[in-house]
Amino acid sequence: RTRSANVTVALHPDFPDQEVVIGGSLSDKGRTELCSVLKKNLDIFAWQPSDMTGVPRSITEHRLNIREGYTPVRQKKRGQAPERARAIQAEVQKLVDARIMRKVYYHDWLSNLVMGVYCYTKMPFGLKNADATYQRLMDKAFESQVGRNIEVYVDDLVVKSHTEAEMVRDVEETFQTLRKVNMKLNPKKCSFGLAEGVFLGKISAAVPNLKKCIKKSDFRWTAEAEQAFQQLKQHLSELPFLVAPKPREELIMYLSATYGAVSAVLMTERGTTQTSIYFISRVLQGPELNYSPIEKLALLLVFAAKRLRRYFQAHPITVITDQPIKQVNVDSKLVANQVLGTYVEKEENMIKYLEIVKGLVSGFIAFSISQVLVEVLENKSIKEKEVAAVIKENGPTWMTQIADYLKEGVLPGDNNEARKLRLKARQYELKEGVLYRRSFLTSWLRLAKAIRLGYYWPTMHKDARDMIRKCNDCQIHRPVTRHPQQPLTPITAPWPFYKWGIDIAGPFSEGPGKVKFLIVVMDYFTKWVEAKGVATITGGQVKKFAWDNIVCRFGIPGEIISDNGKQFVDNPFKDWCDKLNITQRFASVKHPQSNGLVERANRSLREGIKARLGEGNKNWVEELPHVLWAHRTMIKLSHDDTPFSLTYGTEAVIPAEIGMPTYRTAAVDVVNNDKELRLNLDLLEERRERAVICEAKAKSKMIKYYNARVRDVAFKPGDFVYRSNDASHAVAGGKLGPKWEGPYEVTEALGNGAYKLRSTDGTVLSRTWNVTNLKRCYL
């Protein structure tokens, strides 16, 4: 196909270098009108760099999101050859003359340079990492034209028209839009009136006019055409939908096979129509493509029986196909049915032999066997396999307790389990012996030196050992053991937001409002963390924090675990817990493992804040919400889920999903979004039960590892012990100070390594002490 050569046209008689390219396929009239429009809009073109005055900042502005206080990145010096340095200087001077760049005289982050420091005053289109800004500019400027008569991508712009008259109008409309935003065109890269051109590196050609190729006919819309059109719309509006089969209902399966695939549809008859239940298909590969049609249908039937096993086991199914699939298809010339005693011949010659054999059988004399020889083997020819008998018994399930409570009000003996059952039973109802669960979508649904001297001392060794053991100075300076002395006792919560751990972190550097401390609470079930910075740590502050961040958001908890700080032990916090029937659990003195979960949260928050704070920045209060957000949306190894999803039933949309959209954020169904969120609430209980199982498995591994190093130590009431001086600070310490102080008498063993003590003067210590800070005293 021959193409007309493009023509270069000068637009200004006084400046012959101001020229553009026009397509050679235009008619004389179209070329004249196009040249007239171009000459009227010479200001649209940038004939020299100074013509580019720039887009007003009120329309668009490129901004770098740099945090205040950060210094720019200092790149290393790039040395250039003298010729290249002169060329660079010339190009920079051109940009300075065009007022696209300007020289910086008072810079405070660079040393004095030979050629100087320059900065951009206008943003060129080719600048790195600014494509998105330019694309938003073009979308905003050509909002009314994109898709109608123009296509644009960053700095590539194509005006598309059907006729020459439309082309002139579209070009003039485009020039008006460019003038509004003060945008200039490069005439060396512009072409007008082309049947095809280069757009984004591809040849874009106009679609030919096909009307001249179509034979003229007198087409009329008749009544029959209208009736057929209405029938087509009616058929499209009655699309088939899937239904659920009824118990023991007879089903119908249609089989179909083509060269490259097989498919089947399972249907049922409802009244006079057949509705679909399930549809399956399979692509044939390799040797399967060479199967005959009946072999393909047999393969499909076997595939369907495996895929739809539940339907085949629970329903009678009729298979319908256009192939004789029930017909025997084998390679043997004679097929014998041993059950019916019949024979089927598959060849003409076999028919003759079969007739002869039938005649011979009729004259055969019957016989009887009088003795059968039996050979006895010394060893079994086939080894027997030992199979263990499996007996299945109907025992209680997770539903038994709920059903017994709803029917007869039976509760477990444990108070925690009883309260958990009462709360859980609110979502269930017993109707005619069947247990139903409330749904958020529907109503109901169907968790020795003396011996060498000659003395006789039979108990010398024992007496010497006892004397050394009872030496007071030896006991109080004895090294502290580092091995665990009690098996690990995991702390669990029966349901979300029932058990919380609370602690105070700090002091930190003083922030806004003289904030120095951090109150932290953490739920033992979901691992949800709440924290708030405070200036003072009083009981009133702790009470207000617990009310605002626990009770008002998650309900009244059952237990709160804390250390023995005065703000937790004394009023008003203690009185507030008693009024709300909240049980306070106190950790043993100098034993943070008793509240280890919140202690671990303290460290995580502290490390997160330190990582986000820059050099010289002490405003840690501002970074606290970011660290809390990261903690709540991070998967925990203990239950393999995020605290956010265990709290609200769905995963949070994190900021990274906005900058780089995921399928969840890009394919949002606005109409059914609320319904999907309510469905997540229905599945939340199952998600929490799975988290409980996962956490129990993780804690069992932890217990097994920890208990392997335990040196079990236990005391009973009446035993005397020493306390760790590092924990009690009862005696002045130091390098030569005692490691233990006491003795004290054990008055009560509380279990799990906790003990109540009494001093030698009869004073009972108010706080409990853990076995890790105690050592047996020998008197």
Looking at the predicted structure, is the pLDDT value of residue 456 above 50? no
* Rounded Cα distance, 627 and 608, in Å: 6
Mean pLDDT of the chain: 79
Looking at the predicted structure, is the pLDDT value of residue 316 above 50? yes
Looking at the predicted structure, is the pLDDT value of residue 261 above 90? yes
Whole-number pLDDT of residue 333: 59
Looking at the predicted structure, is the pLDDT value of residue 535 above 70? yes
Q: Which of 111-115, 232-236, 338-342, 501-505 has the lowest mean pLDDT?
A: 338-342
619: left (phi over 0), alpha (psi -120 to 50) or beta: beta
Q: List, in order, residues 6 or more apart from 277 with CB less than 8 Å away.
A: 242, 243, 244, 245, 251, 266, 267, 268, 311
Taking Cα atoms as reference points, which of 229, 270, 225 lies closest to residue 251? 270
Q: Tell me the whole-structure pTM to 2 decimals.
A: 0.42
Taking Cα atoms as reference points, which of 543, 532, 538 lies closest to residue 579? 543
Structure tokens given for 396? 């209680």
CB 277 within 8 A of CB 244: yes
* Rounded Cα distance, 523 and 597, in Å: 9
Residue keyed to tokens 């702790």 = 542
Mean pLDDT value across residues 657-672: 74
User: Which pLDDT tens digit goes with each residue over 412-455?
Assistant: 888 888 888 888 888 888 877 777 777 665 555 654 444 444 44
Whole-number pLDDT of residue 597: 80
The fold of 499-692 is Nucleotidyltransferase; domain 5 (3.30.420)
Return the SS3 of 355. helix
Taking Cα atoms as reference points, which of 500, 661, 639 lies closest to residue 582? 500
Spell out the domain ranges in the chain.
7-62+123-192, 240-325, 327-373, 412-477, 499-692, 719-776
Query: With bands split at pLDDT 50, 70 and 90, how would you rate the model's confidence at 266?
Result: very high
**What H or E segment, with its residue span, contains residue 273?**
strand 273-283
Whole-number pLDDT of residue 337: 53
Whole-number pLDDT of residue 244: 87
Structure tokens given for 204? 């874009």
Q: Which of 168-172, 199-203, 406-410, 553-557 has the lowest mean pLDDT?
A: 199-203
Q: Which residue has the higher pLDDT, 472 or 244?
A: 244
Mean pLDDT value across residues 541-567: 87
Whole-number pLDDT of residue 214: 54
CB 255 within 8 A of CB 297: yes
For CA atoms 612, 616, 622, 624, the dihedral sign is positive
Query: With bands split at pLDDT 50, 70 and 90, how would you rate the model's confidence at 252?
Result: very high
CB 770 within 8 A of CB 594: yes
Looking at the predicted structure, is the pLDDT value of residue 348 above 70? no
Q: List, in order, residues 6 or more apart from 257 with CB less than 8 Å away.
A: 293, 296, 297, 300, 323
Looking at the predicted structure, is the pLDDT value of residue 365 above 70? no
CB 639 within 8 A of CB 695: yes
Strand partners, 318: 252
Pick the CATH number of 719-776 from 3.30.559.10, 2.60.40.10, 2.20.25.90, 2.30.30.140: 2.30.30.140
Top mean-pLDDT range of 7-21, 79-93, 195-209, 679-693:
79-93
- Is the CATH number of domain 240-325 3.40.50.11310? no
Looking at the predicted structure, is the pLDDT value of residue 225 above 50? yes
Q: List, in order, residues 6 or more apart from 187 with CB less than 8 Å away.
A: 18, 19, 20, 45, 46, 47
Whole-number pLDDT of residue 262: 93
* Rounded Cα distance, 138 and 60, in Å: 10
Residue keyed to tokens 């703000």 = 567
CB 486 within 8 A of CB 771: yes
Whole-number pLDDT of residue 359: 73
Burial of 34 (0-12, 13-18, 19+ CB in 10 A): buried
Mean pLDDT value across residues 544-560: 89
Other Cβ atoms less than 10 A from the Cβ of 588: the count is: 25
Top mean-pLDDT range of 57-71, 229-243, 538-552:
538-552
Dihedral in degrees, nearest 10, Cα atoms 374, 375, 379, 382: -70
Residue keyed to tokens 């101001």 = 18
Whole-number pLDDT of residue 389: 44
* Rounded Cα distance, 119 and 100, in Å: 9
Mean pLDDT value across residues 746-763: 83
